[in-house]
């Protein structure tokens, strides 16, 4: 029987924002560009953008055409285009997504980011890091890490902004 847990997503975002502030300070990163991955990553990035008081416009990525598993998974093509500064050359990027699982979404996002220039750095921030990585990609900043041997289903909704976690037993 599945076990349900509801997380207060605003509290998790507060933790993520605090971790990001510490990370940016420790790495002497100023004036970063915050970029969310469509859809849930953009919702989270909007909140972080405000809490971190970033002055650069918020960016968003639609990575549909950069996915290497597009034909295998039958992913729906999103019609919203990516919105980024004209150049990311030598900029520090904070890339935000809700859940990191295989690493393929992040690989696709980085491929698209490099089409806009060569960033000075990319910092990956996420609410949840699941087990099951297929590529060597890990978030530098993350609030929840899935325990080995335990599998969950995550659902993030926008209005109101909340996250539900269901453990598969």
pLDDT, tens only, 19-66 = 999 999 999 999 999 999 998 899 899 999 999 999 999 999 999 877
User: In which residue are the tokens 């087990």 written?
Assistant: 131
Token duo for residue 7: 């997380």
Token duo for residue 4: 């349900």
Q: Nearest to residue 44, comparing CAs of 58, 55, 33?
A: 58
Length of the chain, in residues = 169
Enclosing H/E stretch for 70: helix 70-73
Residue spans of the chain under pLDDT 70: 1-7, 67-79, 150-169
- In terms of Cβ atoms closer than 10 Å to its own Cβ (0-12, 13-18, 19+), residue 39 is middle
Residue 74: which residues within 8 A CB-CB, separation 6 or more? Answer: none
| pTM of the entire predicted model | 0.86
The pLDDT value given to residue 152 = 64
The pLDDT value given to residue 114 = 94
Domains along the chain with CATH numbers: 3-68+82-168 (3.40.50.2020)
Residue 126: which residues within 8 A CB-CB, separation 6 or more? Answer: 96, 97, 98, 99, 100, 139, 141, 142, 143
The pLDDT value given to residue 1 = 33
- In terms of Cβ atoms closer than 10 Å to its own Cβ (0-12, 13-18, 19+), residue 99 is buried
Would strands 162-168 and 92-100 be described as parallel, antiparallel, or unpaired?
unpaired
Residue 73: which residues within 8 A CB-CB, separation 6 or more? Answer: 67
Distance, CA of 71 to CA of 50 (rounded, Å): 36
Can you tell me whether residue 124 is helix, strand or coil? Answer: strand
């Amino acid at each position: 029987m599945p076990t349900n847990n509801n997380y207060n997503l605003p509290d998790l975002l507060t933790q993520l924002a605090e971790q990001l502030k510490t990370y940016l300070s420790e790495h002497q990163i100023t004036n970063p560009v915050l970029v969310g991955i469509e859809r849930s990553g953009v919702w989270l990035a909007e909140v972080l953008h405000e809490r971190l008081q970033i002055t650069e416009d918020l960016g968003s990525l639609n990575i549909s055409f950069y996915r290497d598993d597009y034909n295998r998974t039958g992913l729906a093509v999103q019609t919203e285009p990516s919105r980024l500064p004209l150049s990311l050359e030598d900029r520090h990027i904070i890339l935000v997504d809700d859940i990191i699982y295989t690493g393929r979404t992040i690989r696709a996002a980085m491929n698209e980011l490099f089409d806009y220039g060569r960033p000075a750095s990319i910092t990956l921030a996420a609410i949840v890091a699941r087990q099951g990585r297929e590529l060597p990609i890990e978030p530098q900043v993350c609030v929840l890490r899935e325990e080995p041997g335990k599998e969950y289903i995550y659902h993030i909704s926008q209005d109101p902004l909340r996250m539900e976690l269901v453990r598969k037993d």
